[in-house]
Structure 1
Amino acid sequence: MLDLSDDAWTAIALSVRIAGIATLASLPFGIAVALLLARGRFPGKMLVDGIVHLPLVLPPVVTGYVLLLLFGRRGPLGSFLADHFGIVLSFRWTGAALAGAVMSFPLMVRAIRLSLEAVDPRLEAAAGTLGAGRIATFFLVTLPLALPGVLVGSVLAFAKALGEFGATITFVSNIPGETRTIAAAIYTATQTPDGDAEALRLTVVAVVIALSALVVSEFLQRRATARVRATA
């Protein structure tokens, strides 16, 4: 069942790498946006919330096309990054990581936001009375208490980025060894004569990786929740 070709193993390794980098790179922004939506009071909050969750309801191809317009070599952001920093995202694995991060960002933000909203504000107030500033209170009290949500959001984002297809293939195409992820490799196999066996093997691998990520997420969430309850 695991008699995969070298190209398939390359696609698997590339997918894990892209999903991991997409998750790690978006995590600080996910925490910041979740905190803004959970605690912020400002005009247009509903609009910001809608924009954050827009990738969930838009066709992935639309999101990929918008990324291509913005971050392509001729796009405003893409040309700036290429001319000033030598960073090229379109048709590169780094662009696949960006697409995965954008598509998985709403899931990450939602999980972290719910966890932040569940934090007892009295505990934060108690830290303030002991002399802790707002930043110290966040990192020493709020964030540790919201850790289960951070873990769940991170793993959900990883799993989503791992299986992303529509936005990725639109933005960075399907280049073997560069942007061909597991999803793209499965699609390619289904379009190839006698490729059904390869597609099935890759499907099994994708299911195993995604399921393992969810199991690990549940385990880490339970440990983090138990630790928070023990210290509360």
Structure 2
Amino acid sequence: MESAWIPLALSLKVALWATGLNLLLGVGVAYWLARHRFAGRELVDALLTLPMVLPPTVLGYYLLVVIGSNGWLGRWLDESFGINLIFTWQAAVIAATIVAFPLVLKSARAALENVDPQLEQAARVLGLGEAAVFFRVSLPLAWRGILAGLLLAFARALGEFGATLMVAGSIPGRTQTLSIAVYEAVQAGQDDLAAFLVMIISTTCVAVLLGAGWLAPRRPGLR
């Protein structure tokens, strides 16, 4: 069972990095969509939500087109800085971030749209700038929904498999995350190891879902 702790540690690192990136990207984009009305806003929202419904292999293919050795971004990084993302844990972070992004976006947008705009306007009248309004009014009122989305994104990133396998591979100790380790253990007939890994993932996800359910905003009068 000692071999189980290495992919667990890697999965936690990938999930934490992905959650941190989604905290910045997801909440930022959600605030922009919630506070600005423009033509095509819902189309933008739909495109950003695509990772939630697209097959993981399709996402993996798109990532290979972008960050692969022959991809426009991957080739530029390689030629300019000598950076090759494919088959690295950083590629796993990118895959997990994109897959989990819609969970943060949807939760954060809903939470921010439920903030009373009159409270924000009152803060502006009192002389607060947009950044101060966000951090001192909007964010404190929407934090439960945002945190619930982040917990769901963490669980999703922890269990990401398809896109991660395509761009990061399955290199033990380097890119083999927990979900990939389960697949490899089953293929190798290591049922005890697979069961142990599945128990870890399942317990963690149940705990995260309970936490997200407790944090989710409730209607008045409901507990």
- Range of TM-score over shorter length: over 0.9
Could you tell me which runs of 5 or more consecutive residues in structure 2 were left unpaired when the two chains were aligned: none
Supply the AA of the counterpart residue of 1:30: G
* 1: CA distance, partners of 2:149 / 2:34: 15
Asked whether 1:200 is paired with 2:214, we answer: no
List aligned pairs for 1:4-153, cutoff 5 A: 4-6=1-3, 8-153=4-149
Give how far 1:218 is off. Answer: 4.7
Secondary structure of the residue aligned to 1:89 is coil
Contact 2:148 2:211 in 1 (8 A): no
Q: Residues 128-152 of structure 1, C-alpha deviation per residue, up to 9 Å, x if partnerless?
A: 1211122221121111111112211
Cα deviation for residue 88 of structure 1 reads 2.5
Normalising by structure 1, what TM-score? 0.89
Structure 1 spans left out of the alignment, 5+ residues: none
Counterpart Cα distance in 2 of 1:158 and 1:171? 19
CA RMSD of aligned residues (A): 1.8
The aligned amino acid for 2:109 is R
Matched position secondary structure for 2:84: coil
Q: CA deviation at 1:80?
A: 1.6
Q: Distance in 1 between matches of 2:74 and 2:200?
A: 34
Give secondary structure in 2 for the equivalent of 1:146. helix
**Which amino acid in structure 2 is aligned with residue 139 of structure 1?**
F
Alpha-carbon distance change, 181 to 212 in structure 1, aligned in 2, over 3 angstroms: same
SS, match of residue 53 in structure 1: helix
1:58-116 residue CA offsets vs partner (Å, 9 max, x unmatched): 11000011101110122111122233334322110000010000000001100101100
Letter in 2 for 1:94: Q
TM-score (norm 2): 0.92
- For the residues of structure 2 that align with 1:11 and 1:213, how far apart are their CA atoms? 19
User: What is the CA–CA distance in structure 1 between the aligned matches of 2:84 and 2:205, rounded to whole Å?
Assistant: 29
Aligned length: 219
Q: Distance in 2 between matches of 1:81 and 1:25?
A: 20
Aligned to 2:169: 173
How far apart are 1:196 and its partner, in Å? 1.5
What SS is found at the alignment partner of 2:33?
helix
User: Partners of 2:76 and 2:96 in 1: how far apart?
Assistant: 21
Gap change, CA 1:190 and 1:29, over 3 Å in 2:
same
**Cα distance between partner residues in 2 of 1:87 and 1:158:** 26
Give, in angstroms, the shift of residue 156 of structure 1. 0.8
Please, which moves more after superposition, 198-207 or 78-87? 78-87
